[in-house]
Structure 1
Amino acid sequence: MNDLVENNNSKHSYLTKTMVILPGLITAFIVAVISKIAAIWLPTLGAATIAILLGILLGNTFLKNPVLEKGTKVAEGKLLEFSVVLLGATVTFQTIAQIGIPGGIFILLQMSLTIVASYILGKKMQFSDNMSLLMAGGNAVCGSSAVASIAPTINAKEEEKGQIITLVNLLGTILMLLLPIIGSLLYGSNILTKSALIGGILQSVGQVVASASMVNGDVVELAMLFKIMRIMLLVVVVYFFGRFKHQRSAVTSDVEVTPKKKNSALPWYVVGFVLFCVINSLVHLPAQLSETAHFFSGWFEITALAAIGLRLDFQKFFKEGKRFLIYGLSVGVIQVILAITLISLLGI
């Protein structure tokens, strides 16, 4: 009898969670469908670009509703992660080889210099050690995911984490829209260079996909490779940030600071992407399977981008104040200048 009651409660709980998610998930999918249709008449923009712009417009006007939050969060997170994994089925070692050693050096230098510059600038503007480190890691690696992974290692407060995530997302959104324009003006039809610019700078996976989609599908593929390289280095960044904060704390205080338990540093979808890429390179998956993976990856991607747009609340950004905005925009300018300089020096 007790087992029956527990099973009923479990089913009820599952149905309740599903019903809570559905409104936002369905809304994001509808925006994606509209974007696909609109892209027929606006091919230069493309469905991905239309999805995120339409999402931003509706999310800050007619569809600004708390009921949609849980569903759009699932769409933004999980669907985009599955999209990245499936993208791995369309990539081979030959594709990765296009990046080459200069591309790898570019990522290492871009990340390192971004971290140093963001931290120094944060301290100059009188932000705390924690906020400066979170800003440095969030912009250098992978946005909100990096901030969430670094925060427990340096004992950051929830308020500090929330403020930096908001700032990093704002900066990423601005750069997401600007980088395709900057790339086209500076590099014309050079796909690899534009991919390095977008994949080497933008904060989140969603922003990379959205920005690269404004150019073309080839740039999406290569920009994601640059981005994956950055995400894979998150493990190293988390470790060194923890060591750095521990040493700083030991110098300024007699009390030994013990970092909180770390989150899993390497996201599962990166592992999935690499695994599919390895399989596709060694076995060479059938064309039909690759096409199916590409089809679902595309729909997951556009629905996720619509959700990102729907969740982007401009009011939150403006609440953070002028000093935060100046810090964020300054870091963005530094990242762009660094990337352009390094791309030129390395001959990418």
Structure 2
Amino acid sequence: MKPPVFSPLEKDCLAWLTHRIGSYRNIGRGLLVCITIALATTFIADHYGGPTLLYALLFGMSLHFLSDEGRCREGIEFAARTVLRLGVALLGARMTFEQVGDLGIGPVVTVIGSVAFVIVAGAVMARLLGLPRDLGLLTGGAVGICGASAALALSAVMPRHENSERNTILTVVGVTTLSTVAMVVYPLIASVLELANTQAGIFLGGTIHDVAQVVGAGYMISDETGDTSTLVKLVRVAMLVPVVMVFIWLFRSSRQAEGDNAKVPMLPSFLVGFVVLVVINSLGLIPETVSDGMSTLSRWCLVTAIAALGIKTSFHKLAVVGWKPVILMVLETLLLLFVVLGVVMFAGLGI
């Protein structure tokens, strides 16, 4: 039996199809590793407590050798970029414009002012500590907006260099750890200062980094505090949109210097998705069950992306950085604490 004879066009189509199948297979291997880590760390966090994102980072870092292994590399890169951006976009399903309006102008202005202040202060303090301005902006954005999620979103539009991923991992580890500490300590501060439920909610939502820790801290005090802190936190999450746009403009020349392929569009797809979901949710077009499902999917995407970033980073690379980035994030956290707490107490917010 004679072998089939293919035309040049058919050969090109077969070659393209073979290449795509091989590419999907490679993506699948690495992505499956990241999903497995996400499943394992979520199980541990749900049953034994602790921050899921931090567990995913540490588990991923223990498998760093896979980042040098050709069969998994493509899937790990896919999780660290595409899955990450999907997770950030789906955060928009958590909030509506009506929720923001219910807070009143005071908390909204406080959030906007404190976020801008911490980001600028982060850049200044980074230079004073002898650190790159980029790291100060990244950590300031993560502390000011929404912790690990903001760090991942902002790093996606910042220029790439040899320390980019290391800085992102450092920021995620730092803000996740500080957020967990704040979840325990800040409710005690609110109790000692005898803040009213609404005041405590504004304080917790305006200062704690990650959404999960804000919810946990708020409902430790009361249901009213939990509801208020969650709404204030969602306003901080919404600040991700203008801050990402500012970062795109700020780093436009740096990214253009990397070449045409490295340019970021004026409106990144994940940012468009975030805004669109907020608008659709504000119009009441997303059923509550669907919104909850999208929030859950967002959480899984972010945990999977964190696992991928962990795999791409080694303990050795983190060890050579020193304590200055840690000091920077602690200072930013304390600055945000004093600013928001001062406004709550002396401006009479929530009374």
Question: Do the two structures share a fold, i.e. TM-score over 0.5?
Answer: yes
Give the corresponding residue for 1:171. Answer: 174
| 1:115 Cα deviation from its structure 2 partner | 3.6
Conserved? CA contact 1:91–1:277, under 8 Å? yes
| 1:173 Cα deviation from its structure 2 partner | 3.8
| 1:159 Cα deviation from its structure 2 partner | 4.6
- One-letter amino acid of the structure 2 residue matched with residue 285 of structure 1: I
- For residues 1-348 of structure 1, the aligned pairs below 5 Å read 1-38=7-44, 41-42=47-48, 45=49, 49=51, 51-61=52-62, 64-66=65-67, 67=69, 68-127=72-131, 131-132=132-133, 134-141=134-141, 142-143=150-151, 145-146=153-154, 149=157, 151=159, 158-159=161-162, 164-165=167-168, 167-187=170-190, 190-198=200-208, 202=209, 208-209=210-211, 211-212=213-214, 223-239=233-249, 263-264=264-265, 266-307=267-308, 310=311, 313-345=314-346, 347=349
Structure 1 residues 99, 16: CA separation in 2 closer, same or farther (over 3 Å shift)?
farther
| 1:57 Cα deviation from its structure 2 partner | 3.8
| 1:294 Cα deviation from its structure 2 partner | 4.3
| 1:319 Cα deviation from its structure 2 partner | 1.4
SS of residue paired to 1:183: helix
Conserved? CA contact 2:170–2:318, under 8 Å? yes
Q: Which has the larger radius of gyration?
A: 2
The percentage of aligned residue pairs carrying the same residue is 20
- One-letter amino acid of the structure 2 residue matched with residue 18 of structure 1: Y
Conserved? CA contact 1:55–1:310, under 8 Å? no
- One-letter amino acid of the structure 2 residue matched with residue 143 of structure 1: A
Please give the alpha-carbon distance, in whole angstroms, between the structure 1 residues aligned to 2:138 and 2:298.
25
Please give the alpha-carbon distance, in whole angstroms, between the structure 2 residues aligned to 1:59 and 1:336.
31
| 1:122 Cα deviation from its structure 2 partner | 3.3
Conserved? CA contact 2:80–2:306, under 8 Å? yes
Structure 1 residues 222, 298: CA separation in 2 closer, same or farther (over 3 Å shift)?
farther
| 1:237 Cα deviation from its structure 2 partner | 4.9
| 1:214 Cα deviation from its structure 2 partner | 5.6
- Tell me the matched-pair count: 313
| 1:345 Cα deviation from its structure 2 partner | 4.6
Conserved? CA contact 2:123–2:137, under 8 Å? no
Conserved? CA contact 1:25–1:75, under 8 Å? yes
CA RMSD in angstroms comes to 4.0
Please give the alpha-carbon distance, in whole angstroms, between the structure 2 residues aligned to 1:33 and 1:65.
18
| 1:328 Cα deviation from its structure 2 partner | 4.9
Please give the alpha-carbon distance, in whole angstroms, between the structure 2 residues aligned to 1:5 and 1:227.
50
Structure 1 residues 222, 316: CA separation in 2 closer, same or farther (over 3 Å shift)?
farther
- One-letter amino acid of the structure 1 residue matched with residue 62 of structure 2: T
Structure 2 stretches of 5 or more lacking a match? 1-6, 142-149, 192-196, 220-225
Structure 1 residues 176, 28: CA separation in 2 closer, same or farther (over 3 Å shift)?
farther
- C-alpha offsets along residues 178-213 of structure 1, whole Å, 9 cap, x if unaligned? 332333333467445323223xxx4xxxxx356457
- One-letter amino acid of the structure 2 residue matched with residue 94 of structure 1: E
Structure 1 residues 193, 6: CA separation in 2 closer, same or farther (over 3 Å shift)?
farther
- One-letter amino acid of the structure 2 residue matched with residue 194 of structure 1: L
- One-letter amino acid of the structure 1 residue matched with residue 182 of structure 2: L
Please give the alpha-carbon distance, in whole angstroms, between the structure 2 residues aligned to 1:265 and 1:344.
40
- One-letter amino acid of the structure 1 residue matched with residue 271 of structure 2: V
Give the corresponding residue for 1:249. Answer: none
Moved more, 208-217 or 95-104: 208-217
Structure 1 stretches of 5 or more lacking a match? 152-156, 203-207, 246-257
